[in-house]
Amino acid sequence: MASTLQAEKRETRGKNDARRLRASGKIPAVFYGAEKGKASEISVDPKVLLRILHSESGVNTLIGLEGLGSDARVMVKEYQLDPVTHKLLHVDFYQVAMDKMLTVTVPILLKGDAKGVKQQGGIVDFVNREIEIETLPGDIPENITVDISELMLNQGIRVRELQTEGAKWKPVTDGDTMIVHVVALKAEEPAPEAAAVVPAVAEPEVIKKGKTEKEEEK
C-alpha cells in the first residue's frame, strides 16, 4: 500500500522549537536520504501519519514524501509516542530505492478452521504471528495468509512450508521456525490442598522522613 504525506523543512531545532511545532499541530521529524549521512530536519502532520501507521500495512507502508522540492519514497524508521496520551511526538523516515531489496517484518494471518480442533478437540497454538521477509519496496505484502484448514492434532506449519510459489518475496526468518500448530488441550491439574493459615505477625511500621516540598524544589 502506498500513501502520500506533506512535509516542510525546518530551519531550527531544539526542545522549545519542538514544543512550538507540536502546539501548531505538527511534529518534528528527520528524513534520512539515500546518501549515507544525509539527513534533513522536517515537520509533518501527525494525524495523517497516524492514519498511515494504523492502516493494514502499518510501518511497512510506502510513503510519498511531498513538499521537499523533489518527491521521495520513504518508510518509517522509528517513531516516538507520548507514554500517557499516545500522541505522536517524533518520527524518522528513511528513503528507499525502488529497485533494491529490503528486509521487513510482516504479520501472519490465519485462514480456515483446523480439523484437529473440530474433530479431535485440540486447540490452535499461534506461535509466531509475524516473520521477516525480503522483497522490493513496491511488493511488500500487507500480510501473509496461512491456511490451517487441514491441520490435525500435533500437526503444524513452519516457515519453510509457506506457499511462496508466485510470491514476490522470500522468507528471511529461519525455515524451522514454527508458525502455528494444533496441540492437545491440557487437562486441569487438581488444586493443591489448602495450606494451614498462619496468623500474620504485624511488622512495625518504619517511618522515614521525606523531603519537604521546598527541599525538593531546591
All CATH 2.170.120.20 domain ranges of the chain, comma separated, are: 102-183
The per-residue pLDDT for range 115-170, each reduced to its tens digit, is 999 999 999 999 999 999 999 999 999 999 999 999 999 999 999 999 999 999 99
The runs of H, that is alpha helices, within 62-190 are: 115-118
Q: Are strands 62-66 and 2-9 parallel, antiparallel or unpaired?
A: parallel
The per-residue pLDDT for range 160-207, each reduced to its tens digit, is 999 999 999 999 999 999 999 999 988 665 655 555 555 554 444 433
User: What is the domain class of 102-183 according to CATH?
Assistant: mainly beta
Q: Give CA–CA dist 33/31, Å, rounded.
A: 6
Query: Percent of the chain having pLDDT more than 70?
Result: 84
Which CATH code fits 2-95? 2.40.240.10
All CATH 2.40.240.10 domain ranges of the chain, comma separated, are: 2-95
